[in-house]
Amino acid sequence: MSWRNRNHPTFWAFLVHRLSGIALTLFLPFHFWTLGQAIAGEAALDGFLRWAEQPLVKASEVVLVVLLAAHLFGGLRLLALEFLPWRDGQKSLVALGGALSLVVGLAFLLNLA
């Protein structure tokens, strides 16, 4: 791959899709640990939920939702590439996926308030 192609929007879409997938993979064990707190008992879960009310944790939740949406819409873009006829508007699909990811994150953030 030449350096010239690394400044193309579809390269950045590829990079965001891969990095969001890695971030979600790293989050998954923490998610399972949290579910385990519910099994451990009410006191353990209540303690975790009190900790989760911190502003930094809430901000991390918003980032996580945006990463999940970016991964979802990036994956849908890739499926469209694979199964639909070729289109010249790949930059538009990248922009649409990014915009939808931010809309989902904003909707989640507004729901927290």
* pLDDT, mean of residues 5-28: 86
Which has more confidence, 86 or 13?
A: 13
pLDDT at 113: 56
At 1, the pLDDT band (50, 70, 90 cuts) reads low
Whether the full predicted model's pTM is greater than 0.85, yes or no, is no
Domain spans, the chain: 3-26+54-112
Q: Is the pLDDT of residue 112 over 70?
A: no
Mean residue pLDDT of the chain comes to 84
77 contacts 93 by C-beta, under 8 angstroms:
yes
pLDDT at 55: 92
Q: What is the pLDDT of residues 47-80, one digit of tens each?
A: 888 998 999 998 888 888 888 888 888 888 888 7
Q: Give, to the nearest 10 degrees, the angle between helix 9-40 and helix 90-112.
A: 30
44 contacts 37 by C-beta, under 8 angstroms:
yes
